[in-house]
Chain A
């Protein structure tokens, strides 16, 4: 079973920041948080991952709380092409690092 919970859906205005929350209260100390997104009828696209420090790349920023029980993915300037299902995944160490997908958040970016 997935170790994360996310809101089912969210809306965001084009050009504004999209903040997608994720709860992972049972995360263990050596387990990473990964974010992927899936645009309709395509394979998931890797966005970012982190362990305990905040991370930033050209796509997004990942903010992980100090207790590591939750995180937020930030898309700084959302565009219509960012409309997708966003998956927050805890990579479980004792399961060979495989990725178990939860239900994700359906983000709709509106003009």
Chain B
């Protein structure tokens, strides 16, 4: 199956700092990538959809200035949590959809990044 990686797997930062998380599709080109967050004992919540070379589309209630998404190439998307605060502590997961054979293309998920803001 297709492989999606994330880096770092775990990050601890001080309140007020910015944190960047990378998501890479290792063996396929991903025209569309997605970012989710997950709180303990809860399901995944979609934050935004990004298409290569264009601005991300954010879900309702997600602050676009807080969570900056860049999808500069067909294999890399980044999520930057700006001025992080303890309430931003969460498990962030990216996923990538394969070469655009249509909206039914399978989505593959990365292993997730655990963010802890002190």
A residues near B, CB below 8 A?
Answer: 32, 34, 36, 38, 41-46, 49, 87, 91, 93, 96-104
Contacts and interface: CB of A to CB of B under 8 A. Distances in A.
Interface residues of B, number: 27
A43 B103 contact: no
A75 to B, nearest CB: 17
Given A43-B110, A101-B44, A103-B43, A91 B91 contact: no
A46 B106 contact: yes
Given A49-B106, A96-B49, A43 B43 contact: no
A35 to B, nearest CB: 11
A100 B44 CA distance: 8
Contacts, number: 56
Contacts of B93: 43-44
A104 B42 CA distance: 10
Given A42-B112, A43-B93, A87-B43, A99 B107 contact: yes
Contact of A41 (B4, B91, B105, B110): B91
Majority SS at the chain B contact face? strand
B61 interface: no
Given A46-B109, A91-B104, A93-B103, 9 more contacts: A43-B112, A46-B1, A91-B103, A96-B32, A96-B49, A97-B104, A99-B34, A101-B36, A101-B45
A83 B30 CA distance: 30
A34 B93 CA distance: 18
20 contacts: A32-B104, A34-B106, A41-B112, A41-B114, A42-B111, A43-B6, A43-B93, A44-B95, A46-B107, A87-B43, A91-B103, A93-B103, A96-B32, A97-B102, A97-B104, A97-B105, A98-B46, A99-B34, A101-B43, A101-B46
Nearest to B36: A101
B108 interface: yes
Contacts of A91: 103-104
A60 to B, nearest CB: 14
